[in-house]
């Protein structure tokens, strides 16, 4: 009997405990704030007017930072003089070097652009959609021009369970880029319906001007056709230029303007302030010193030195000039595509078939570059931007473009296409000049089945063959 009473007591205790827990759970449901697990800094929905400036900042920051810094050292616009920068200067390339660039371009820039594009389509906003497509094409261009084959057709599908996207060939990616730009041109040519959101001041690049975005899209088609010059020659480039509707002056430039506040600073300024292990390269300094180029004060900061000097390739511990205020100042812009770049493309495309036009385009490219930086100089231009049909050469065109495209990864594209300008291998170099980036460590670890194997930094991309 005592045993039965003990069992009954235990059962009653268990029932009581169960009821107590039930009451507590019920009470907790009434008491706990339903927003307790909601991150107030991560809204469930974001308007297009907030998405657009965010993605523009993201693209400008990563291209102006991780992307252009390495290629600028390899093209001897810059020179790594210590620590990791010196290793990269000497072509010591690791998979881990490009993790941040890859993850930012995919996880931030392309992802948010896909959201912006989808929202624009859902809200029937053609100009937001057109801008999203232009920026997606440009971002994809940056990706494939350094990695070649890359995910896109199956990328950005992690929310649906696809964490291992296949790689699209570079040839297919270039087709995709042109398809995006063509679609963007159509959308940017449409009139936004009454009451539909328009970019306006949320567009920090071109102020919501659909005509300027359309001109940019057509100009980017010219640029990407030029990239295929080894495959297709230059006739397609000439046809696109003759088709018109392109960027007409510096006001149509594709760039992101940074600010003087600490949380708005240019990425190159931030890197130099934190690391201080990069100087300007002797190659570009010597070219500009030879003509007394007025852009030197914008490009270079000689600190306390009497003259502008550059660091020899691969030299450690240099006291050469730093990158200057026009490119590495705290509020300096990052240039993504400029009118002057378009004029140099025109000069190259028409050289050999119409040298008078090539010379005129070259001269305009140089003059526009000086004007862009506020250092127009009629006397200097009369000597250095006065080519004629009989004096213009391809070497002059590519050297002039190399100078104008300071710290731009486009110089690396040009060098891979043309071999110009000639570059001196750095001291203690480990390989010849790299022609591509390695796929990042994260991709090998988490998508290794699809990632191309056995890639070397000296391998040529599809368009480089």
What confidence tens digit (pLDDT) does each residue in 448-465 have? 999 999 999 999 999 999
Q: What is the pLDDT of residue 158?
A: 86
Mean pLDDT for the chain overall: 92
377: tokens are 């100089």
Q: What is the pLDDT of residue 10?
A: 42
Give me the number of domains the chain comprises.
1
Question: Would residue 319 count as lying in a domain?
Answer: no
Q: What is the pLDDT of residue 12?
A: 35
Question: Would residue 465 count as lying in a domain?
Answer: no
* Residue 142 and residue 334 in contact, taking contact as beta carbons nearer than 8 Å: no
Q: What is the pLDDT of residue 318?
A: 84
Q: What is the pLDDT of residue 19?
A: 34
Mean pLDDT of 269-289: 95
Mean pLDDT of 39-62: 87
Residue with the two structure tokens 């319906």: 193
Question: Would residue 285 count as lying in a domain?
Answer: no
Q: Is 80 helix (H, G, I), strand (E, B) or coil?
A: strand
Residue with the two structure tokens 């940074």: 258
Q: Does pLDDT of 31 surpass 80?
A: no
* Residue 145 and residue 461 in contact, taking contact as beta carbons nearer than 8 Å: yes
Mean pLDDT of 369-388: 98
Q: What is the DSSP letter of 157?
A: -
Q: Is 158 helix (H, G, I), strand (E, B) or coil?
A: helix
Q: What is the pLDDT of residue 114?
A: 98
Would you say the C-alpha torsion 7, 9, 10, 11 has a positive or negative sign? positive
Q: What percent of the chain has pLDDT over 70?
A: 91
CATH assignment of the domain containing 416: 1.25.40.390
Per-residue b or e along 48-64, where b marks 16 or more CB atoms closer than 10 Å to that residue's CB: beebbbbbbbbbbbbbb
Contacts of 384 (CB under 8 A, 6+ apart): 291, 293, 366
Q: What is the DSSP letter of 353?
A: T
Q: What percent of the chain has pLDDT over 90?
A: 85
Q: Does pLDDT of 23 surpass 50?
A: no
Q: Does pLDDT of 150 surpass 90?
A: yes
Distance between CA atoms of 51 and 153, rounded to whole angstroms? Answer: 22
Question: Would residue 284 count as lying in a domain?
Answer: no
Mean pLDDT of 374-387: 98
Q: What is the pTM of this model?
A: 0.90
Mean pLDDT of 51-78: 96
Q: What is the pLDDT of residue 39?
A: 58
Mean pLDDT of 141-167: 96
Q: Which tops the pLDDT comparison, 14 or 183?
A: 183
Question: Would residue 321 count as lying in a domain?
Answer: no
Question: Would residue 40 count as lying in a domain?
Answer: no
Q: What is the pLDDT of residue 44?
A: 64
Q: Which tops the pLDDT comparison, 118 or 161?
A: 118
Question: Would residue 327 count as lying in a domain?
Answer: no
Mean pLDDT of 288-292: 98
Question: Would residue 385 count as lying in a domain?
Answer: yes
Name the residue range of residue 76's domain. Answer: 48-262+333-451
Q: Does pLDDT of 4 surpass 90?
A: no
Q: What is the pLDDT of residue 290?
A: 98
């Amino acid at each position: 009997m005592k045993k039965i009473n003990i069992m009954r007591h235990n059962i009653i205790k268990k029932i009581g405990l169960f009821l107590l827990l039930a009451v507590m759970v019920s009470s907790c449901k009434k008491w706990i704030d339903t927003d307790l697990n909601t991150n107030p800094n991560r809204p469930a929905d974001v308007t297009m007017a907030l998405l657009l400036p965010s993605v523009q900042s993201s693209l400008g920051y990563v291209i102006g930072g991780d992307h252009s810094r390495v290629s600028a050292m390899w093209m001897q616009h810059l020179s790594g003089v210590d620590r990791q920068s010196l290793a990269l200067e000497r072509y010591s390339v690791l998979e881990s070097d490009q993790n941040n660039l890859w993850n930012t371009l995919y996880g931030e820039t392309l992802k948010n652009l896909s959201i912006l594009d989808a929202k624009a389509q859902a809200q029937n906003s053609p100009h937001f959609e057109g801008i999203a497509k232009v920026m997606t094409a440009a971002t994809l261009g940056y990706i494939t021009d350094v990695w070649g084959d890359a995910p896109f057709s199956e990328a950005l599908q992690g929310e649906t369970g696809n964490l291992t996207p296949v790689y699209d060939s570079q040839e297919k990616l270039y087709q995709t880029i042109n398809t995006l730009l063509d679609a963007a041109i159509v959308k940017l040519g449409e009139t936004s319906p009454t009451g539909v959101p328009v970019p306006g001041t949320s567009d920090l690049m071109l102020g919501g001007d659909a005509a300027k975005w359309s001109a940019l899209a057509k100009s980017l088609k010219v640029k990407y056709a030029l990239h295929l010059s080894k495959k297709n020659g230059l006739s397609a480039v000439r046809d696109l230029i003759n088709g018109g509707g392109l960027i007409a002056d510096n006001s149509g430039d594709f760039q992101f303007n940074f600010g003087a506040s600490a949380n708005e600073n240019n990425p190159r300024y931030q890197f130099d302030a934190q690391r201080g292990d990069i100087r300007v390269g002797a190659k570009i300094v010597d070219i500009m010193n030879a003509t007394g180029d007025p852009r030197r004060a914008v490009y270079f900061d000689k600190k306390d030195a009497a003259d502008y000097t550059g660091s020899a390739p691969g030299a450690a511990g240099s006291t050469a000039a730093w990158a200057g205020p026009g490119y590495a100042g705290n509020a300096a812009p990052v240039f993504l595509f400029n009118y002057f770049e378009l004029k140099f493309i025109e000069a190259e495309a028409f050289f050999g078939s119409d040298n008078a036009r090539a010379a005129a385009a070259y001269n305009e490219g140089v003059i526009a570059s000086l004007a862009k930086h506020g250092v127009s100089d009629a006397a200097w231009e009369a000597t250095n931007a006065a080519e004629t049909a009989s004096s213009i050469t391809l070497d002059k065109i590519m050297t002039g473009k190399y100078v104008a495209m300071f710290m731009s990864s486009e110089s690396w594209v040009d060098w891979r296409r043309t071999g110009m300008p000639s570059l001196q291998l750095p001291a203690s170099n480990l390989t010849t000049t790299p022609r591509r980036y390695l796929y990042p460590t994260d991709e090998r670890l988490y998508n290794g089945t699809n990632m191309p194997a056995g890639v070397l930094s000296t391998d040529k991309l599809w368009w480089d063959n």
